Structure 1
Amino acid sequence: MTSPESALDTRFALAKALAQEAGAMALDYFNRRDTLVIETKRDMQDVVSIADRNVEKLIRERVAAHLPEDGFLGEEFGLTAGSSGYTWVVDPIDGTAPFVSGMPNWCVSIAVLHEGVPVVGVIGAPCHNELYAAAIGKGAKLNGRVLTLDPSRTIRNALTGIGVNSYVAPEFVAGMVSQLLQAGGNFVRNGSGALMLAYVAAGRLVGYYEPYMHAWDCLAGYCLVKEAGGWYHPFPTEGELLTKGAPVVAGGPGARADLEKLAGIA
């Protein structure tokens, strides 16, 4: 019988290998993006291409071959239930709009849940040759370097990432930006929520807030932030809630109170 530690190690190793393989495929598409047919989903800003679909297919096929009893939720093809207690949650290319526009702010995001808890988080940023990797109880690393968050960093002496989309009213976005600025903070938005969460784990951003986000965008980043010494506001993972959107907030220890106030969860 496989031990819990061995089961975790197996999935962590596979997630890291898949982030590299999928990242290489995505980077190849990126380098010939002028040949891609770009489609829209919910609105003109919500775009998708064959690159997103084929990268997800690659990851799905590899997971199914190695761990056929695991569940899988991907942005492009939805949820496939499993029986092992583990579910992979994947965004094949987070930041498709920057991707198709020729900007490097996109990534491959791979999380593994066990009984609803993010136990593995791997984010590959191929344009930057960066691999962020974390597993529960094992810490977080960037290209093998251990990540440890500095508690002296706050929203007032560091940058905060924010995310917006058409699920959120413009007036609400204006209000949250105004509140952050009035509190002495400043913000960055690069078009990839998963990558900005990885930047929180790396200490490049002190926190991240998006009022409405999906599991495939945030759960890998959540694992990374937690293992680097930060915190996150739990995402609902029970049943069909896993496929729905929810507020996403995460940050370093010195920014928690301010970010919870900004998100209205204090």
Structure 2
Amino acid sequence: MNSDEREIRARHALAEELAVQAGKLALGYFRNRDDLVIETKSDPQDVVSIADRNVETLIRDGVTEAFGADGFLGEEYGLVEGSSGYTWVVDPIDGTSPFVHGMPNWCVSIAVLHGGQPVIGVIQVPCHDELYSGALGRGATLNGKALTLDGVKTIRNAVTGIGANHHVTPASVGRTVEDLLKTGGNFVRLGSGALMLAYVAAGRLVGYYEPYMHAWDCLGGYCLVREAGGWFLPFPVEGEGLTRGAPVLATGPGAIDDLRRIAGV
């Protein structure tokens, strides 16, 4: 085992540990959500609560204690540069809208970047007691069981996840859905892009497309999809690209061509 492998393994173990801790903290807030003060961001559909902030702080503190030279990008508190070459990218509660409305479609997403790619991806789904976990060259698992994608599922015999937000026009989302349906597919939207990417890695969805997402929403899921044998559209992580949004597409082997055509990438 070389030094990079040892470094990745150490961070992978910590990412799993912190995801479980963060999930427990978030679940406590979820069960007492009537007491949460909910704030809106730039759009009425984009909400945040003290739960998001405190969960992110828990993860950030854990990373700082163990790997103080690592960078850290969180949805709530932004980017702190590091010097180690590793950067943690975290969404403390992806799917805050489902979270505050009492739906289980939310998760904690943790990724670690190194060498311009997500080398670790861990997604904890507290309401379903599911831990998705993967690391570069080590495969992906769901609660310890290996995830392996094949080419049997296509957009015509499986379901595709579609995401939308205020950064894209309703017309463009409508064209995507219309094209998917005309091609013989069907779709779902759960309110958490990170969760739907985990579902791609697990084979529950054949693919996921969203015209505009942030790094903290997708990089953990991207690692899982790759390690399970799927494909994803690279996310621009260099320079300011890491803090800006970009199109996100991840698919199982049997849907790559169809979904790349539908997404126009």
TM-score using structure 2 length? 0.99
**Structure 2 CA distance for aligned equivalents of residues 256 and 263 of structure 1:** 10
Paired AA for residue 155 in structure 1 = I
**Structure 1 CA distance for aligned equivalents of residues 79 and 109 of structure 2:** 16
**Structure 1 CA distance for aligned equivalents of residues 145 and 115 of structure 2:** 29
- Superposed counterparts of 1:26-65, under 5 Å: 26-65=26-65
Listed one character per residue, the Cα deviations across residues 182-238 of structure 1 (whole Å, up to 9, x for unaligned) are 010000100000000000000000000000000000000000000000010000000
Q: Which residue of 2 aligns with 1:192?
A: 192
**Structure 2 CA distance for aligned equivalents of residues 141 and 17 of structure 1:** 15
Q: CA RMSD in A?
A: 0.7
What SS class does the counterpart of residue 197 from structure 2 fall into?
helix
**Structure 2 CA distance for aligned equivalents of residues 109 and 262 of structure 1:** 27
Paired AA for residue 224 in structure 2 = L
Pair 1:67-2:56 in alignment = no
What SS class does the counterpart of residue 236 from structure 1 fall into?
coil
Q: Which residue of 2 aligns with 1:155?
A: 155
Q: Which residue of 2 aligns with 1:228?
A: 228
**Structure 2 CA distance for aligned equivalents of residues 173 and 94 of structure 1:** 21
Q: Which residue of 2 aligns with 1:175?
A: 175
Paired AA for residue 83 in structure 2 = S
**Structure 2 CA distance for aligned equivalents of residues 226 and 99 of structure 1:** 27
Listed one character per residue, the Cα deviations across residues 93-114 of structure 1 (whole Å, up to 9, x for unaligned) are 0000000000000000000000
**Structure 2 CA distance for aligned equivalents of residues 142 and 127 of structure 1:** 15
User: How far is 1:150 from its partner?
Assistant: 2.2
Q: Which residue of 2 aligns with 1:116?
A: 116
**Structure 1 CA distance for aligned equivalents of residues 18 and 121 of structure 2:** 12
- The number of aligned residues is 264
**Structure 2 CA distance for aligned equivalents of residues 229 and 5 of structure 1:** 20
Q: Which residue of 1 aligns with 2:97?
A: 97
**Structure 1 CA distance for aligned equivalents of residues 129 and 153 of structure 2:** 26
Specify every segment of 5 or more residues in structure 2 that has no aligned partner in the other structure, as ranges: none
User: How far is 1:116 from its partner?
Assistant: 1.6
**Structure 2 CA distance for aligned equivalents of residues 29 and 63 of structure 1:** 22
